[in-house]
Amino acid sequence: MDQLPVGINERIRHEAKVAGLRSKSKPSIEMVERRRMQLWLVVLVVMLGLGAAAVSVSMASGTASWITGQPWILAAAAAALAIGFCLYAVEKEVHLHRLSRLLVDERVLNSEMAKRLEMNSALSNAGKALNSVLDLDEVLDAILANALVLLGGSSGSVMLLEDEEYLRVVAIRGSEIGRDTRVHVGESIAGRVAQSREPLLVTQEVIDGELSGHADRVSAPLKAMCVPLENRGQLLGVLKISCSDDQEFDTVDLQVLSLFAEPVAAAIAKAGLYEAERAHVAQLLDSERMKTQFVASVGHELRTPITSIRGAVAASRRDIGAEKRIELMDMIERQSGRLQTMVEEILASARVDEDAGKPVLRRIDLSALVRLAALDSSVAGRPIEVIAPTSCEVRADPEAMRRILGNLIENAHKYGAEPVRVTVQQADTSVVMSVVDQGRGVAPDERERIFERFYRTDPNGIKPGMGLGLTIVRGLVESCGGTVWVEDAPGGGAAFRVSLRVRSNDELREAASAQ
Amino acid sequence: MRSKTRVLIVDDEPDVLLTMRLILEAEGFTASLAADGETALRRIADEHPDVVLLDLMMPVLDGWFVLAELSQRVRRPYVVVCSAKTGNADRARAQDLGADEYVTKPFDPEDLVALIKTLLASARRPARI
């Protein structure tokens, strides 16, 4: 359509004038047809008239062969008149034909322009939606609605790439598919487009041929078109529009949908950035709140032993007897030890990120280590049960393991309830050590958060602590190449599990090559 | 009539209880101990102390609960809150609940003794339990 003549209106006016259409308004195709009918009717009447005149003249002269008879001049004039009139009619017909072609072109041009205007308006609406709202759902819905109106589709959806394998439906119009439905990449129309990153037009022909026996996983194959959503070369998802049975999309529609894909992809990228920024700010605020809480916790934790120490010093200055004084000395030693432990904990938690003081991994007997920790804990008035094989080797740093166990056991007594049990279970390539209590357990939404630095489940509660213990545990476990998590213990309570490797990577490689 | 002033020390930290008892007894007071709010309320009812040194963050029933409970009584002991909570909001809340003094940890035991004596010497509340 881009090659359509410029100044088509002038040409129409010119042809109309030549063809004898002298109406003031622009001629229509109907007017041209009427004119054509008139022209050929006149030609017919003239020809019939001439024929009748020739016959009557011939009969009047009384000869059978009137052409060679007396009035031959009359006959020749009639023939010349007929030929001249025919030439005139043919010339008019040529112009009328041109005119009707021009008028058809003009109609097509007008309808194309209307379509383009409609498309521009839809694209502009989509753009407006993109700029006015930052909520991704609203943006996608607005864009989808505009695309459906413009292309006359019955339903549509936007699917985003969830991971490398699946697309997830995030916006729908019509009832073709459920929101949050997952579509496998490579399967069905949307999945194929996500894989190939090429627009796809599904016509009845394609359904009957290529797609037969390749039924859409989520719905029966519909006549549809689907385009990839890409932003800066990265695939974000697909945009799919379907139509009803009596309709069919063409390649022009597919091009229009591809145009739509651009603002959709931009909206997704922009909203994604906005969401990420919002999450980042929330995280900063959260971390700031936790830091404030940490300072309060540390303040409280440090103040308590100092109160005891100052009390002990003040009391020992009085006349209390030698025995009591010795008791107070013990107290001062104990409380200053507590202060020292806290300071070390704070420093250790700061080191978790710096990766300083990397542990030395070697083979150790975890069972023996657990039994030793149980003994220490019992002496400190925190009894624990141990279920472990006679010996169980793991690759870890013994000092790190002692601290991990100590912290987890202390935690179980502080936040859980007795009996506290430590178990060691051996698998093929790993060993899982669990510290299980009979308390209330950890709520699912807190199971990751409790490992965050400064995070406390009872910020204003009466439980002492600085919110560092589990951060240190995770840091130490990871430095030993293991993982730590918490889950519900069978029968209630919390189960902190530490998975450790039995062999190093080198040892695993050696074992593999030996096989 | 009692000859010695009775002081109830309420704190969940055993070492604080022990040292404060030694100091207060050396000063001539009779000291009794409670490690949580519930025990504290029971001892207040049984022993009618003149002064209560009250920690705020404790298990079972905390110091706030004890303060609220005492604030509803017409005759009650002097209450000196001894807490590691240093915020002004906590201080104001304790005062609203009728605490006579608010001391933040770590405190100088000598200052606390002096404070108790000043409190007892004042004639703000003529009727004691």
pLDDT category of residue A480 using cuts at 50, 70 and 90: confident
Per-residue confidence band for A311, with pLDDT thresholds at 50, 70 and 90: very high
Going from the C-alpha of A14 to that of each of A19, A89, A165, B35, the distances in angstroms are: 9, 18, 64, 110
Nearest to B86 among A299, A314, A320 (CB): A299
Cβ pair A299:B84 closer than 8 A? yes
Q: What pLDDT is attached to residue B111? A: 92
Q: Which of A112-116, A173-177, B105-109 bottoms out in mean pLDDT, i.e. has the lowest?
A: A173-177
A145 has a pLDDT exceeding 90: no
Q: How confident is the model at residue A6 (pLDDT cuts 50, 70, 90)?
A: low
| Residue A233 scores a pLDDT above 50 | yes
Nearest Cα residue to B119 out of B1, B7, B3, B28:
B7
Please report the pLDDT score of residue B92 as a whole number.
93
pLDDT-derived band at A299, boundaries 50, 70, 90: confident
Which of B:21-80 have CB within 8 Å of A?
A: 22-23, 26, 57-59, 62
pLDDT above 70 covers what percent of chain B?
92
> What mean pLDDT is predicted for residues A26-34?
84
Helix (H) or strand (E) holding A117: helix A72-132
What dotted CATH number matches A132-276?
A: 3.30.450.40
CATH placement of domain A362-514: 3.30.565.10
- Torsion angle (degrees, nearest 10) of CA A170, A176, A178, A183: -70
Write out chain A residues lying below 8 Å of B58, CB-based: 462
Whether A98 shows a pLDDT value over 80: the answer reads yes
More confident residue, A514 or A154: A154
> What CATH number should be reported for the domain whose range is B6-119?
3.40.50.2300
User: Residue B41 — left, alpha, or beta (φ > 0 → left; ψ -120 to 50 → alpha)?
Assistant: alpha
Task: Inform me whether the C-beta atom of residue A297 falls under 8 Å from chain B C-beta atoms.
Answer: no
Residue at token pair 């005139």: A88
B98 interface with A at CB cutoff 8 Å: no
Winning range, highest mean pLDDT, from A111-115, A485-489, B5-9: B5-9
* d(C-alpha A82, C-alpha A71), whole Å: 17
Per-residue pLDDT at B55: 92
Residues of chain A contacting B85 with CB distance shorter than 8 Å: 300
Residue A60 in this model has a pLDDT that exceeds 80: no
Among A7-16, A208-217, A247-256, the least confident range? A208-217
Arithmetic mean of pLDDT over chain B: 87
b vs e for A183-204, b when ≥16 Cβ sit within 10 Å of the residue's Cβ? bebebbbbbbbbeeeebbbbee
Across the range A187-208, mean pLDDT stands at: 82
Domain ranges across chain B:
6-119
Q: Residues A498, A482: contact at Cβ < 8 Å? A: yes
Size of interface A-B (CB pairs under 8 A): 72
Specify the pLDDT at position A228: 92
CA distance B99 to B70: 9
| A301's tokens | 């934790």
State which amino acid sits at residue A355: D
pLDDT band at B115 (very low <50, low <70, confident <90, very high): very high
Inter-chain touch B104–A314, beta carbons under 8 Å: no
Provide the total of helices (H) and of strands (E) in chain A, helices listed first: 12, 13
Question: Among partner residues A296, A304, A310, which is closest to B108 by beta-carbon distance?
Answer: A310
- Nearest CA among A175, A143, A172 for reference residue A158: A172
CA A35/CA A20 separation, integer angstroms: 8
CATH fold of A291-351 reads Helix Hairpins (1.10.287)
Higher-confidence residue: A196 or A514?
A196
Torsion angles phi and psi, residue B49, rounded to 5? -65, 155
Cβ proximity of A486 and A497 under 8 Å: yes
- Main-chain phi, psi angles of A509, to 5 degrees: -65, -40
Provide the shortest C-alpha distance from residue B90 to chain A (in Å).
12
**Mean pLDDT score, A348-367:** 72
Name the phi and psi angles at A248, rounded to 5: -155, 140
Write the residue in B16, B22, B106 that is nearest to A320 by C-beta: B22
CB contact under 8 A, B20 and A311: yes
- Could you give the percent of chain A with pLDDT greater than 70? 85
Q: Is the pLDDT of residue A213 over 50?
A: no
CA distances to A186, A450, A470, A496, A499 from A447, in Å? 36, 6, 11, 10, 16
A166-184 confidence digits (pLDDT tens)? 888 888 888 667 777 888 8
Average pLDDT, chain A: 80
What are the residues facing A394 on neighbouring strands? A364
A318, B26 contact by CB (below 8 A): yes
- Report the gap between the CA of A497 and the closest CA in chain B (Å): 28
Banded model confidence at residue B116, pLDDT cuts 50, 70, 90: very high
* Predicted local distance difference test score (pLDDT) of residue A1: 39
Q: Which among B11, B16, B60 is the top mutation candidate for probing chain A, defined by the most A β-carbons within 10 Å of its own β-carbon?
A: B16
Cβ atoms of A179 and A170 within 8 Å: the answer is yes
DSSP B62-128: -HHHHHHHHHT-SS--EEEEEES---HHHHHHHHHTT-SEEEESS--HHHHHHHHHHHHH--S----
- By the CB < 8 Å criterion, does B93 face chain A? no
A62-76 mean pLDDT: 60
Residue in A311, A319, A334 nearest the CB of B19: A311
Query: What is the reported pLDDT for A63?
Result: 53
Q: What is the mean pLDDT of residues A46-52?
A: 85
What Rg value do the Cα atoms of chain B yield, rounded?
Answer: 13
Cβ within 8 Å of B, A 334-353: 334-335
Written as one string, the DSSP assignment of A187-202 is SHHHHHHHHH-S-EEE
CB contact under 8 A, B26 and A315: yes
Q: A116-152 burial, b if ≥16 CB within 10 A, otherwise e?
A: eeebeebbebbbebbeeeeebeebbbbbbbbbbebbe
pLDDT of residue A352: 63
Which of A128-132, A272-276, A339-343 is least confident? A128-132
Residue A489 touches chain B, beta carbons under 8 Å: no
> Which ipTM was obtained for this model?
0.87
Query: What was the pLDDT predicted at A402?
Result: 87
* pLDDT tops 70 at residue A205: no
- Segment among A204-208, A502-506, B92-96 with least mean pLDDT: A204-208
Tell me the shortest Cα–Cα distance from A317 to chain B, in angstroms. Answer: 9
pLDDT at residue A17 greater than cutoff 60: yes
Structure-token pair, residue B49: 């102390």
For residues A23 and A99, the answer to whether their CB atoms sit within 8 Å is no
